[in-house]
Structures are given as structure tokens and as C-alpha cells.
Structure 1
Amino acid sequence: MEQNGHPVAGDAPALRSDLPVGTPRWATRRAQWFALGLTDADLAKPKIAVVNSSSGLAPCFSHLDPIAAEVKRSIEAAGGVAFEIRTVAPTDFLMSRGGSGGYVLSGRDLLAADIEAVVEGAQLDGMVCLASCDKTTPGQLMAAARIDVPTLVLPCGYQSSGHLDNGEHVDIEEVFLKSNHLKFGGVTVEDLCRMSERAITSPGVCSGMGTANSMHIVAEALGMTLPGTTPVRANSEPMWRAVRASGETIVNAVLAGRRPRTILTPDAFANAVMTALAISGSINTVKHLQAIAREAGLDLDVYALFEHYADTIRPLAAVRPNGPDTIERFEDAGGALAVLKQLGDAVIGSAVTITGETMAERVARAEVRDATVIRPRSNPYCDHPTIVVVRGTLAPGAGIVKLSADEDRPMTFEGPARVFDDAPSAIAAIESGGVRPGDVIVLRGLGPVGNPGMGMASQPVFALDGAGLTGKVAVITDGQLSGLVNKGIVVGEVSPEGALPGPLGVVADGDRIAIDLRARRVDLLVDEAELERRIREREPHRTPGDSSSWLSVYARSVEPLPRGATLRGNALPTA
């Protein structure tokens, strides 16, 4: 109601963002928003956050500001009020320089806290999240699950890549890989300069099936995006159509009370896991999905879901670096919806989505435009899963192996351990010839606690490739691997990590290690009593003390990888 053109005290709030008329908070907020040009009519509308991780630091984020502006216009046209908010923008290739790489994964949780602080603090009604680089999408989904306000994830596309003068394709993955060949004579600085100048030819995320594109597709499989929007070329007309449709979708979701926890159900996670396996996605999808599930309040073991569906779901697509196809061909073949279509009756169709329709209704409209790129379940690319969760005496909590869909490689390996407590030492040993065929590199101390935020273990893997040792040397690490790493036998993200009590922290040079990917095991061939003695007598890892640095706070509060490396529990005093 209004009196003399003004709201009347006692009007009942219709939205969570509404405040009782006449109260101090209502009056001061009205003053703030009137200064921004809003009216009393605007203040009665759904108030939507446009979550923008724009940054001038990398092309992953450099195109987001115009997208945010168009999303705001779309929300306003649909009857809402849009408020753009900013978050940290984690990017692997640039932010892994400091903190031994720890700012990358920890940036995911910082981003989720950024969102929570603003959206929950201001009690906004919903949000549209502009999804871009590796950690933004999981961070946004974690925040959505945590604060449980209607949320639309809007994937903002992948970058285009280029060609060398000889016509050879080049992208950021090739630059990363070949840079580790320099000291072995396989490439020159001039070669790297030419590659780096041609690798990225537009804004957007990395163009392979790395973590960014994998998480965009997973977000669609969870039901948190508009249908048919992943993957998508950055700044393409399909991307802009989704941008223009975002306002109506989120306003309707707010008015219908369509909250993330009604969408992020166990059935939705099952669909997401099957999709990740079918696209031969990044191994990082495992810990990110586990983190999202925990933020959604689910008692769900995502690692066990991957183990379960690995028995039946095989790769239906093989996008670089997992196979011959490009991400453009995958998009043109139908993208995520086509994958869900090819999964057939394995998909749990009753799972609901942000638009209110079920996954079955979405899939019914889907079209597989090229069945040679996105294959039916009866004709997969290979007869093995490409995301393999392993366990055993060296990884009782779990480890993850990424396999290719089109490459033959050994499925078993046994050899003596060569133990390193940091990546530079491992690389130096590879370059000096100190690592020999048959060895198993054990690279530890890079887990979320030991190297707060996780250290990157990809460079030693690529150094092995440069030295001609791919497939001849295995790697076992508690560190994080780039979603584009797909070389040799590499067991990543081993849990318990080396900094915590467990077998990884007590492996000694010369201990024999056996890997059997068919049996999904990685075992330390040391007598059980001897192993228990080593663990018992080992000095405990000391986490940072009272430092207020972000990585110190993270180290004191992060939970183990099988719980998604989320921040909870450990920071609280114990009885």
C-alpha cells in the first residue's frame, strides 16, 4: 500500500529482500538505493545479484563485463532489479606462481565466501553467476548450495585457438606441455614464443576438455544452467541468446521458490557423475562435485559414485587432450544435452532443473547432431573408464587416475619409489637423469594441508614427457593436476595426503609400489607392521600458527580431499 506516494508502515514483506517499512534498515537502505536511481516500485521487485568474476589478469575473464551488463538488462526487462557484485577470479596459469600454487584451489573457497558475504549479507533474492575459469564454476555452485537462494549458472564460453605456420593446431595446453620440453632440446624459446602468440585468439576459458569446460558441462548435468548452453564459444550468438534469456529464468525461479537444494539432489549428482565419465572430463570434477554436495548438506560420497558408474559408463566423447576431437566439434554435435541423450535410460529423468522442467523433459528435446563425435552407449570410444578412482594400501582414502580415450598405455606398473617433497626437486632429478625407467616418482607435501591450497603437480609430469619417460615412469602425488594433464600413469590427489598421518607420508626411497588400474589399486609393498611403525613414529605435520594470511587460515580449516577440501570442522575448537 502507499500513502501520499510512499509505502505504508506495516506492509508485509513479500520477498526475503523486503524489509518492514519504517524500520531503520529499510530507511537507510532506501536512501542508499534511491541514490543509485532506484524507486519504491523497484524496491518491491526481486533483487538479483549478477555475480561477476571479471578480471584483467587473464582472457578467461576479460569478456565478462559486457555480459554482466546484458544480464542486468535482461533481469530488469523481466521485472527484477539487478545488482552486479564482484568476486576473486582464480586462474591456474597465473595465480599458481605464488604460494606454491596454493592460491588456485583455495581461491574457489574464497570466491564462495565472497558470494555468501554479499548475497546473504544483503539478503538478495537470487543470483546469476557468470561461469568462466576452472574454480569459478565450482565456487559459485558451492555458494549457491550453501546459501540456498535461486541461482542460474551462466557459462560464458571457451576461447578459440590458433595454428602455426605449418598448419599445426596450437592451444594453451600445447604451450604448457612443450614448455617443459625446453631443457631436453625438444623445443626452443623461439618455438615457445611462436606457440604462445598463436595459442589464444579470443576471450574465454581453455579450449580443451579441461576443468573449465568439464565444470560448465557438469553444471548443466546438475540442472543449474539453461538447457543446451554448454559448452559454448565465447561471445558467440548462442552464448548471447542464453545471456538474454537469463533474466526471465532467474526472476521466475525466485517467484517460484526454486532453490538450489531442490535441484542439487543425489539424483542430480548421479547425472553429473555419469556425464563427467561420458565426456572423459577433468579429474578435478570429482573433488568439486564432492565440495558442492557437502555445501548442499548431502551425506553423499561422490568418489563412490564415480567408482560405481565407472563399471558401466564409458567415454562417449573424446575431446582434446583425451582424444582427436575439438571442443568446437563437440559443441556442434550437441554438447552436454546430446551426451545426456546418448546416456539414455541411465539418466535419472525425474531430477528437476532451474527452469522448473525435469531432466527427462530437457533430454526429450535434445538432438545428437553428430553421432561420430558424441557416440551412443553401444559404441563408446574405449572399453575403460577415463576417470579412475583407485584405493589400496598407499591410498586408503582414494586417489584418481586420468586415462585417455584413444591412447594405449600400461594398465599395471611396479617399481621402486623415488621420493620428493616438492615439485622443483622432482623436476631437477628428471632433468639430471636421476629418474630412470621403471621408477615410481612419489611427490608429496602438495595436498591441501601440506601445501595450503594444494600445489600443482603437473610440471613434473610434463617434464617426464620432455625427457621421453612418459609411460616408463609412474607418478604418485597428493598434489593437484591440471585438468589438461593426460600423460602416462599418474595417480593424483592421493588421500590421506603426505602431511597427514598415513602411508604416503612415510614412503621411503626404494620401497616397491604396485599400480593396477584394472583392479583400481595402488599398493605400497611394505610389511604391514613396518608401515604401522613408520606412521606411529613419524613427526606430525605442523600447520601454520597464528598468521592471518589467507593460506594460513585455509590450512587451519580445510578438510581432506574426500570431503571436497571444503572449509569446515577443523577450524572449530574440539571438546
Structure 2
Amino acid sequence: MSDRPRKTAADLRSARWFAPDDLRSFGHRSRMMQLGYAEEEFRDRPVIGILNTWSELNSCHGHFPERVKDVKRGVLQAGGFPVEMPALSVDESFTKPTSMLYRNLLAMETEEIIRSHPLDGVVLMGGCDKTTPGLVMGAISAGVPMIYLPAGPMLRGHYAGQILGSGSDAWKYWDERRAGKISDVEWNGIQGGIARSVGTCMTMGTASTMTAITDAMGLTLPGASSIPAADAGHQRMGSACGRRIVDMVWEDLTPDRIVTDASVRNAAIVAMATGCSTNAVVHLIAMAGRAGITLQLDELDALGRVTPLIANVRPSGKDYLMEDFFYAGGLRALMKQLEDRLDLSCLTVTGETLGAGLDGAQVYNDDVIRPLSNPVYHEGSLAVLRGNLCPDGAVIKPAACDPAYHVHEGPALVFDSYPEMKAAVDDETLDVTPDHVMVLRNAGPLGGPGFPEWGMLPIPKALIAQGHRDMLRISDARMSGTSYGACVLHVAPEAHVGGPLALLRTGDTVRLDLPNRRLDMLVDEAELAARRAAWTPPEPRYARGWGYMFSAHVTQADKGCDFDFLESGFGPAAGEPDIF
């Protein structure tokens, strides 16, 4: 379907490094020979960079040392020359204060690795939450042919006859542990059984949300995001990515032809139907922005109002995990259910349309992937709120919280820091009721720092003891995609920059009206004006290094938290290196 002439060897980007009969190219060729390669291995062939976000502290990517071999096999089969390039791992579990602090660093590294090396195309290996948007953002900006290889979800968790979902069941059983209902032996058993293979969280958390978005956007092989990491099909998918990227180079199939207004809309619709992570909002806005597409929060809310949630996968669904989703037909089957709502003419990395990639897709279990006539939830998984607490927006996941809190009014219980909040919720004498609205502020992009996943505030022990497991919680933080509950997140502007959340006081009445998409503090304007006049900005979080750069340039949550100087409208890219 390409409307561009097929490339010749002389047209290859890598030919600028290796083809000329000059001193610079002599040096390039001699160093390749120093690495043990014969000239005929890398001359006149597409050089394929395999950007691998593996590390020994990233359990989600524990299979990548083997999977990169599958990709290389595919590249060689198709006549390309594969080169593995390590990229920042940005693991979710161990990186502090939050992996989100480093998403843009991975995006910058990806863009610069591609631009500065003799690469004709790239295979992006990621999956753990921030690696997907980071890699895709950088590759879109670099502009060479690219294909995304998702890590795939891990196998179901198991303990004592119970199926466990990573993240979601950790939060659930931790509350029972705090209530004294789980013994040391049981807790250790859950700990060892909740994550028992390589791969990303097997709930519809941020990892599976973002790989599904990338799949729906046309940047993976059709359905690649659903394949479990431990499945042999994942190996075959790896080699298929290697073969396909070589053809994409010859076809000059670049990401600007794939990431369009229509494909971004497709991705948003699919995300809503899957019960996506709230983090999808921040990352999808940033990914679209790299392609010059302005995606607004209100557009996402409008799609959420008309897109049923049809993936019965935890935490928004009640019964199943990603392994079940794969066996039920995977993302292709879900998109087949939605095809009347999608633009099927969008081009994908296959060189064919999205619609062609859905041919033959079937649902094999209609309780896992529901028909539109029997959804898990009548609307999509996200809603955007406005009001005097969040004039630039906030997000909530209605399907993952107790409907009793969809309309709620109660007194605020405000915390200025995570340590303060953590100490309070563990105080069994805390004066708190189920009607209280817990608030954590100074946890946004600048305040966190880095926008940490602190938004699923723990239920106070005093309420846990009474049998309560949900309450309204508000923050300018994010929360894990595996989390659930009545949590309002991404309040913008954040408190650290003087957003209205900074003016809220303990005891003020807060009102959530989800049907009307409102979040307000019931405080009169004169009082708010007095508080605003008395507010003083907090000290900067960083005085040097990456944190200083991050703080100087990161945008707010409603803008995607990209760096202002990396957005497509900031200025032209550096272009191709011209010093050889």
C-alpha cells in the first residue's frame, strides 16, 4: 500500500556511513570489521537497531536477552543486519522516587540513539509501564521506520487455589493483612505466587494498557500486545518483528504515516473499552504530541462517555486476567467487537490497514471479551472532571470504584506529603469517617517529584477495622494501573505550582459529582482569594542534574508531562547528521 518508491541500497540511511570511498567511511567500515563483521554483512543492507530495555532489575523484561535473539534471527532471514542497542530500562518496581521521572529521559535517549547511529529502522523492545511511551515518543520524533515489540503479560498468579492478579491483589490482600486477617505464612505464600513468570503485570494495568494502545495505533504486529511473555508465540512474534522491519525500511514506512489523528482516536477508543489505566491519559497525550497531534482531556472524556468497557479483566473487570484475555481472542477480537467505531482504513506497520489486520478475529469466550450489548460497564473506563479544585482537569476510573462514591460530599482530610499521610493512616486513633475525603497534595510532576503513583491512598486502619475498603481520595499524583477505588488523580494544576489544591484545608467540604463531571471545594471565592494571597511557593525539589532539567521543562498532567522543548511545535528537529 506504499505510495512511495521502494528504496534501493544507495537510498539507505546507513549508506551515508558505509558506502562512500572516503576517510570517514573507511573508519566506519574498519571498526565494523574490528567487531568481526565482513563488509558484505553490513554493506547494502538495512541496518536494524534493536533498542532493548532489559536490565537485571526489570523482571518484566527478564526474557529480553533471549527475545532479542529471535528478533535478530528474523532480521537476518529478511536480509537485514541487526545491531542490539541498550536503552534505559526504567523498571517500575525499583526506580525511585518514580519511573515517571525518567520516561522523558528514555524518550530523549531513543531519539538520539536513532539519529546519531547508522540505523535504517528500529525494533523497540519494551513493555514495563514507562518503556512503551518513552520508546514510542522518541522513535516518532526520530522518524525512521519502527516497530514495537511488547514484552507481554506474565502468567496468572496462584496461591492456595486462588488466582492472583499482580498489583490489584497485592493492594486487596494488604488491606486484609493490615486488618490482621492474613498470617505470615499466607502473606509469604501470596508474595511468592503473585508474580511467577517473566512479563508485565497480568492485570489490565499500565503496561498492558500502553501496549494495547500501541497495538491499536498500528505500531505493533496485529494482536502482538496480548501474547503472554512465556508463550512460544511470543518468540515467533519476535522473529516476525525482525522480518517485518526490514521490509518496512525498503518500503520507507515511517511512523508519521501511521500515527495520525485517526489512529490516535482508535487507540483511545480501544483503551476505554479495555478498562485502561488512568496513566493512559498522560502517555497518550504525550505520544500524540510527538506526532503533532493535540489531544485534549475533554476529547478523551467524550469518548469515555460513549465507549462501553467490554474487557472483563481486573481491576476494572471482576473475573479475569490477561492470560484469559489472550485465550479469549486477545486485542484483535476486542477490536473486532468495536470495528464499527474504529477507522479501519488506518495504516499499520504491516503495510496494510487496521481492518485487514482484524480479518478472521474471533471471540472465544464472551464473558472475558463481552459483546457491546452486555458490557462490564456502560461507559469507558475513564472520566475527566472539572471544577474549582481542578480547573485544568482531573481523572477518575468509575468502573473500578464503589458506585456509592460517584456522587459524594464530605469533609477534607488534607496531607501535604506522603510520609505525613502514611503515618496518619497507620494511626488506629485517627479521627476519620467513611464520609471523609482524603487528600494528598504536592505529589504532581513537580511536587512529587516526578509524578509518583501515590494516588491510591491507603484506607486508614481505623476504617479497615470497621470493614470499610473504599473512600473518596483526591491527589495530584498518579496511581498504578493495577489500582482501584474511588481515587481522583492528576489534579491540574498541581499544588506545587499553586493550583487550587494548594488552597484546600482540612475540614473544607469537597463535592464529587461524577455524572456531571464536577469536582469542587465548597469554599467561597473571597476566602479562596485570601488563601491564594497568603500562599508561598515551596522550594524547588532539585538544584542540579536531571531533576533540575526535568523541573525546568516538564509540562503539567493535562499536557502529557512531556518536556516543552521536545513537543513537535517547539521547533524543527536537528535532522540528519551532516558531519562525516
Give the TM-score of the pair, scaled to structure 1. Answer: 0.91
Q: Does 1:137 align with 2:136?
A: no
Q: Which amino acid aligns with 2:65?
A: D
Q: Against the structure 1 CA distance between its residues 459 and 406, is the aligned structure 2 distance closer, same or farther, given a 3 Å change threshold? A: closer
Q: Which residue of 1 aligns with 2:70?
A: 70
Q: Which residue of 2 aligns with 1:482?
A: 480
Q: Which residue of 2 aligns with 1:172?
A: 166
> What is the rounded CA distance, in whole Å, between the counterparts of 1:468 and 1:254 in structure 2?
62
- The runs of 5 or more residues in structure 1 that have no matched partner are 1-10
The one of 117, 123, 129 equivalent to 1:128 is 123
The one of 314, 324, 329 equivalent to 2:308 is 314
Aligned residues: 554
Contact kept? 2:51, 2:122, Cα under 8 Å: yes
What does 1:252-271 correspond to in 2, within 5 Å?
252-271=247-266
Q: Does 1:532 align with 2:529?
A: yes
Partner-residue secondary structure (3-state), 2:490? strand
Q: Against the structure 1 CA distance between its residues 163 and 300, is the aligned structure 2 distance closer, same or farther, given a 3 Å change threshold? A: closer
Partner-residue secondary structure (3-state), 1:526? coil
Q: Which amino acid aligns with 2:512?
A: I
Q: Deviations over 1:387-422 (max 9, x none)?
A: 111111111111111133696443111111111011
Q: Against the structure 1 CA distance between its residues 259 and 491, is the aligned structure 2 distance closer, same or farther, given a 3 Å change threshold? A: same
Give structure 1 regions of 4+ aligned residues with deviation exceeding 4 angstroms: 405-408, 462-472
Q: Which residue of 2 aligns with 1:274?
A: 269
Q: Does 1:22 align with 2:24?
A: no
Contact kept? 1:281, 1:387, Cα under 8 Å: yes
> What is the rounded CA distance, in whole Å, between the counterparts of 2:564 and 2:503 in structure 1?
27
Partner-residue secondary structure (3-state), 2:495? coil
The one of 280, 287, 300 equivalent to 2:282 is 287
Q: Which residue of 1 aligns with 2:578?
A: none
Partner-residue secondary structure (3-state), 1:460? coil
Partner-residue secondary structure (3-state), 1:92? coil
Q: Deviations over 1:506-562 (max 9, x none)?
A: 1111111100111111111111233233224311234345412x2232122211111
Q: Against the structure 1 CA distance between its residues 222 and 12, is the aligned structure 2 distance closer, same or farther, given a 3 Å change threshold? A: closer
Percent of aligned pairs with the same amino acid = 32
Q: Following TM superposition, by how much is the alpha carbon of 1:385 offset from its aligned partner in structure 2, in angstroms?
A: 3.0
What does 1:52-451 correspond to in 2, within 5 Å?
52-95=52-95, 98=96, 101-102=97-98, 104-165=99-160, 167-173=161-167, 174-301=169-296, 303-322=297-316, 323-404=318-399, 408-432=403-427, 433-451=430-448
Q: Against the structure 1 CA distance between its residues 240 and 81, is the aligned structure 2 distance closer, same or farther, given a 3 Å change threshold? A: same
> What is the rounded CA distance, in whole Å, between the counterparts of 2:66 and 2:464 in structure 1?
41
Q: Against the structure 1 CA distance between its residues 260 and 536, is the aligned structure 2 distance closer, same or farther, given a 3 Å change threshold? A: farther
Q: Following TM superposition, by how much is the alpha carbon of 1:259 offset from its aligned partner in structure 2, in angstroms?
A: 0.9
> What is the rounded CA distance, in whole Å, between the counterparts of 2:101 and 2:242 in structure 1?
30
Q: Which amino acid aligns with 1:164?
A: Y
Q: Which residue of 2 aligns with 1:497?
A: 494
Q: Which residue of 2 aligns with 1:7?
A: none
Contact kept? 2:157, 2:166, Cα under 8 Å: no
Q: Which amino acid aligns with 2:476?
A: D
Q: Deviations over 1:464-483 (max 9, x none)?
A: 78455756631110011010
> What is the rounded CA distance, in whole Å, between the counterparts of 1:105 and 1:493 in structure 2?
13
> What is the rounded CA distance, in whole Å, between the counterparts of 1:246 and 1:547 in structure 2?
40
Which stretch of structure 1 is more off in the superposition, 476-485 or 555-564?
A: 555-564
Q: Which residue of 1 aligns with 2:560?
A: 564
Partner-residue secondary structure (3-state), 2:413? strand
Contact kept? 1:87, 1:115, Cα under 8 Å: yes
Contact kept? 1:161, 1:198, Cα under 8 Å: no
Which stretch of structure 1 is more off in the superposition, 321-330 or 511-520?
A: 321-330
Q: Deviations over 1:359-387 (max 9, x none)?
A: 12222332222223212222212223321
Contact kept? 2:425, 2:458, Cα under 8 Å: no
Q: Following TM superposition, by how much is the alpha carbon of 1:277 offset from its aligned partner in structure 2, in angstroms?
A: 0.7
Q: Following TM superposition, by how much is the alpha carbon of 1:503 offset from its aligned partner in structure 2, in angstroms?
A: 0.6
Q: Following TM superposition, by how much is the alpha carbon of 1:111 offset from its aligned partner in structure 2, in angstroms?
A: 1.5
Q: Deviations over 1:206-263 (max 9, x none)?
A: 1111011111111110000001222111131221221121122101111111111111
Q: Following TM superposition, by how much is the alpha carbon of 1:183 offset from its aligned partner in structure 2, in angstroms?
A: 3.7
Q: Against the structure 1 CA distance between its residues 466 and 35, is the aligned structure 2 distance closer, same or farther, given a 3 Å change threshold? A: farther
Partner-residue secondary structure (3-state), 1:268? helix
- The runs of 5 or more residues in structure 2 that have no matched partner are 1-7, 571-580
Partner-residue secondary structure (3-state), 2:358? helix
> What is the rounded CA distance, in whole Å, between the counterparts of 1:286 and 1:470 in structure 2?
29
Q: Following TM superposition, by how much is the alpha carbon of 1:311 offset from its aligned partner in structure 2, in angstroms?
A: 2.1
Q: Against the structure 1 CA distance between its residues 162 and 485, is the aligned structure 2 distance closer, same or farther, given a 3 Å change threshold? A: closer
Q: Which residue of 2 aligns with 1:47?
A: 47
Which stretch of structure 1 is more off in the superposition, 377-386 or 290-299?
A: 377-386
Contact kept? 2:344, 2:354, Cα under 8 Å: yes
Q: Against the structure 1 CA distance between its residues 90 and 158, is the aligned structure 2 distance closer, same or farther, given a 3 Å change threshold? A: same
Contact kept? 1:51, 1:129, Cα under 8 Å: yes
Q: Does 1:521 align with 2:515?
A: no
Contact kept? 1:17, 1:47, Cα under 8 Å: yes
Give the TM-score of the pair, scaled to structure 2. Answer: 0.90
Q: Following TM superposition, by how much is the alpha carbon of 1:154 offset from its aligned partner in structure 2, in angstroms?
A: 0.9
Q: Which amino acid aligns with 2:492?
A: S
Q: Which amino acid aligns with 2:477?
A: G
Contact kept? 2:455, 2:487, Cα under 8 Å: no
> What is the rounded CA distance, in whole Å, between the counterparts of 1:22 and 1:128 in structure 2?
30
Q: Deviations over 1:275-300 (max 9, x none)?
A: 01101111111111011011122233
